[in-house]
Structure 1
Amino acid sequence: MGTSDPYPVSVSSLHFPSAEQQSISQTLSALRRSALTVTNRLRSIEADAAFVRETADHYGLPLVANERCGSWYIPPDVKSGSAYFKSTDGHTGQWDFSFRRLNLQILPIAREHGGCIIVDSTRRGKLMPDALSKTIPIWCAVINRALFPSDTAFHAVEFPPNFLGASEESQIERRIDGFVKSLEDLKLDLGELKQQLGKPIRIAWANRSYFHPTDLHKGDAYHLFVLCSASKRVHGAEMSEGGYIQGAGDDSESWAYGLTPPVFWASKSTLFQQSDEDLPAVIEQLVEEHRKQDTDQRATRITPTRNLYISQTHPQLNSSNHYDLVIDCNGSAEAAEGNAKRLNLGCGSSKLGSRDLRNKLDQVQDFVKSRLGSDPSQSLLVTCETGKDLSAGALLAILCLFYTEEGEFTAASANRSIGKQFIRQRLAWITSSKHDINPSRSTLQSVNAFLMQRPDY
């Protein structure tokens, strides 16, 4: 070999990569993170929202967000409502009609407009989320059979084309009558719900691959629910799409720095002018400004009662100036000492709060029995940090212990025997009155344990 030969002639001449150098997987992970920037997510959302608006124009129907993801793709000024259909209720083998999420609020929207477009999205690799392919089709079939029992042409479950296997479709179909029976057992006024909807439901699907059925629009015999998956299906990694991210609005808690869809749509131009390094601080400032301007704090009355209300904890509402009595699930117990019209439970957050609630419900029972027992006409507001979880649990216990079928307070009801079906019926009062209520499984377990293991009075 000559001195110019390029090949190494000894072990010491060989070059081995140092430990500091990244492996291929580390390099790919870094590239993926660089593609998943907040700016890329927001740009992807903006692009997908344009498709959603085109879908609305095509069908001439209002837009309803399937929360939480769907609201990212709908500017607030054209959003007609929210739905809460979970993909977990459509997972294979776990198909369900949820009694925590009845979604009856979309019935009058459909009646007024001849249907609606329910907007959602899903992550890389999937054409649509299970919420659109299974959860909502199950719900529509249950509603059609329960409210329109003689219109058998609308009783079959409608599925997207060539999406599920025949076995899964038949297994889902076999469960529908059981779900209908469970809905009927809630003792809701089905005649009133039928009037709110007016006609049976038909389903169409809209995504970046197809509109199906292609010729289906609003009709005289039915209301049309269009299930719209906003994002373009991506088969490869995010970095192969030039910064486009499928389902960019999904799991926003992990990437948005507190940014919400209303703040995004109100501040879009400002956000797109920022560098990725500056975005967290800018988002924090915009969110705080929006919070100060948001004075629309209203409590929701739980029907058929005339005096029970629920809301997120807010100083503007959380005072005896607005309501005679207040129970704040997360409020500090010391802060309410000496105030006979207020009970603060001091529960923690999330699952810890649900466990705390189990041990505080006896205080709730005593407070309600003594205060409303002396004057049942008083209004009672129950709050928690979200207005959707612990407050719903406390209210559920109150409804089960003290309220008649007609929604009247009676202290004598505290002696009644309470079972799971009875609790489910009272929960339906809450979910029918406030549609974004979503008590966690832990909270409901705490309430069930308290109500079903009480000593005899």
Structure 2
Amino acid sequence: MSQPLTEADIIFPHLSNTPNLSSTLSSLRRSTLSTHNRLTSIISDSNFVTTVASAYDLPLVANERCGSWYIPPSQKSGSVYFKSTDGHMGEWSFSLRRLNLQLLDVVGKWGGAVVVDSTRRGKSMPDALSKTTPIWCCVMNRAIFGEEKKQETSLFTPPQAVSESEHAQMEKRIDGFVRQFLEICKPNIPDLRSKLQKPLRPIWITQKSSLPESPPSFPDFHPIVLCTASRRVHGAEASESGYIQGAADDHEAWSHGLTSPLFWKHKDALITTSEEDAPALIKKLISSEKASNAIATLINPTTQIYISPSSNIELKTFDTVIGATPTPFSPDEIKRAGVRNYLHLPCQPGKLGSRDLRTQLPRLIPFISSLSYEVGKILLCCPTGKDLSVGTALALLCLYANDTGVLDTGTPAPGKRDREGVY
């Protein structure tokens, strides 16, 4: 005969049979931050981004890596890499490794640009847009225009995100950043000046901003519209009906390997797929994408350096292969392709890979020096073909190429390049 229920059985069931509050909240948070909710939030924010571009009649530029998720590929005019860490309180910096001079090409062609980024819950805009990019604009203005437009080369920051005290501290560092840029990078100022008719000035746009009814003109400066894609969420995500602020941030943690180009290519299928089936669909899309052969891109003005993704690349047309990848090509694969020289630089995928690359790059010099014959066509590859391989190419060019792109693979001439700066 069963024992009668006690008060403890009714009111205080054993915790092993009933989830505690913490685990319940964690489960709710995971369901709110689902892949489906992230992708629908990205599409919603993307609609705002394209509206901003239309309002100012300016091209869209992604601040990588988050920004590309919010821009349809057909409307993306370029990429930049302004890091939020260069704008953190007390750590304000002008990166000599991420000069972002390609943004000046976009500005020179269109008169300005809309730079897109986002940030997670708790902030109205990322430090990359409120501080790092304004510092860059100010440094560019002072380096390019000097005394010519002194009154128009002040530092501009958003008062709602940067206090007067912080602004003043940032301002004190600008002239030092300008000196470093001019002395270490030795930029071609006349060439940069030919791209800008007037100084750059940042303008900040969030989803709370009022947009112009018709594209405004800016006679005194080139506008750099700094667009925070996501709207600010003040409460928990669960109170937002599935909307996630900064949904694209740190995509390695939630995307199951999905990339922004693949997302935009298959967004309708992804959005209509259930959360349970999403990982399988993403895996299928990635496999299908990898099945097509990668195409190597020649780095101009050289005639022998190429970069490409490491998956499905035809190796047999190359004499020398340098791979910044998590795992090396197999010896059999290298032998079958007839590759004469192979160097594997072990690098993790994602953010950690750039740190690994800096420790691996010094191996380039003994590798190149050990080659007893012509290096021939050189392939530099990484998982994406867009980041670690580009860094490897830059190091190789700095160490061994002349100004016309001709390689001399002998011992790098002392003083020819600042090799410490390369790494």
TM range (shorter): 0.7 to 0.9
- Whole-Å Cα distance in 1 between the matches of residues 171 and 187 of structure 2? 23
- CA drift at 1:337: 5.6
RMSD, matched Cα: 3.1
Cα distance 1:256–1:191, how it changes in 2: closer, same or farther (>3 A)? same
Structure 1 counterpart of 2:256:
257
Does residue 107 in structure 1 map to residue 104 in structure 2? yes
- CA drift at 1:163: 1.9
Matches within 5 A, 1:51-90: 51-90=48-87
Write the deviation string for residues 276-298 of structure 1: whole angstroms up to 9, x where unpaired.
111110111123333445x6724
Write the deviation string for residues 398-446 of structure 1: whole angstroms up to 9, x where unpaired.
4454344665444665352688x4543xx4xxxxxxxxxxxxxxxx3xx
Structure 2 counterpart of 1:143:
140
Structure 1 counterpart of 2:186:
187
Choose 1 or 2 for highest CA Rg.
1
Structure 2 counterpart of 1:166:
164
Structure 2 counterpart of 1:437:
none
Write the deviation string for residues 57-103 of structure 1: whole angstroms up to 9, x where unpaired.
21111111111111111111111111111111111111111122111
- Whole-Å Cα distance in 2 between the matches of residues 398 and 262 of structure 1? 28
Aligned AA for 2:200? I
- Whole-Å Cα distance in 2 between the matches of residues 307 and 76 of structure 1? 29
- Whole-Å Cα distance in 2 between the matches of residues 356 and 261 of structure 1? 28
Structure 2 counterpart of 1:247:
246
* Aligned residues with identical type, % of pairs: 42
Output the TM-score relative to the length of structure 2. Answer: 0.85
Aligned AA for 2:93? D
Alignment counterpart, residue 18 of structure 1, candidates 14, 18, 22 = 14
Structure 2 counterpart of 1:414:
412
Cα distance 1:90–1:317, how it changes in 2: closer, same or farther (>3 A)? farther
SS of match in other structure, 1:285:
helix
Write the deviation string for residues 40-62 of structure 1: whole angstroms up to 9, x where unpaired.
11111111111111111211111
Cα distance 1:389–1:52, how it changes in 2: closer, same or farther (>3 A)? closer
Mapped contact 1:46–1:73 kept (Cα < 8 A)? yes
Structure 2 counterpart of 1:275:
274
Structure 2 counterpart of 1:384:
382
Segments of structure 1 that go 5 or more residues without pairing to the other structure are 1-9, 373-377, 428-443, 445-457
Structure 2 counterpart of 1:124:
121
Segments of structure 2 that go 5 or more residues without pairing to the other structure are 1-5
Write the deviation string for residues 330-379 of structure 1: whole angstroms up to 9, x where unpaired.
4447344698863222332326954883674354232457425xxxxx54
Structure 2 counterpart of 1:450:
none
- Whole-Å Cα distance in 1 between the matches of residues 244 and 135 of structure 2? 29
Cα distance 1:35–1:14, how it changes in 2: closer, same or farther (>3 A)? closer
Does residue 348 in structure 1 map to residue 346 in structure 2? yes
- CA drift at 1:191: 1.4
Mapped contact 1:90–1:130 kept (Cα < 8 A)? yes
Structure 2 counterpart of 1:328:
323
Structure 1 counterpart of 2:206:
207
- CA drift at 1:28: 1.6
- Whole-Å Cα distance in 1 between the matches of residues 286 and 62 of structure 2? 21
- Whole-Å Cα distance in 2 between the matches of residues 326 and 85 of structure 1? 30
- Whole-Å Cα distance in 1 between the matches of residues 254 and 406 of structure 2? 46
Aligned AA for 1:385? P
Cα distance 1:76–1:67, how it changes in 2: closer, same or farther (>3 A)? same
Aligned AA for 1:157? L
- CA drift at 1:165: 1.6
- Whole-Å Cα distance in 2 between the matches of residues 247 and 102 of structure 1? 25
Structure 1 counterpart of 2:308:
311
- Whole-Å Cα distance in 2 between the matches of residues 136 and 194 of structure 1? 19
Structure 2 counterpart of 1:156:
154
Aligned AA for 1:361? L
SS of match in other structure, 1:383:
strand
Aligned AA for 1:327? I
- Whole-Å Cα distance in 2 between the matches of residues 343 and 362 of structure 1? 14
Cα distance 1:399–1:73, how it changes in 2: closer, same or farther (>3 A)? closer
Aligned AA for 2:207? R
Mapped contact 1:141–1:154 kept (Cα < 8 A)? no
Mapped contact 1:333–1:344 kept (Cα < 8 A)? no
Aligned AA for 2:11? H
Mapped contact 1:403–1:413 kept (Cα < 8 A)? no
Mapped contact 1:63–1:74 kept (Cα < 8 A)? yes
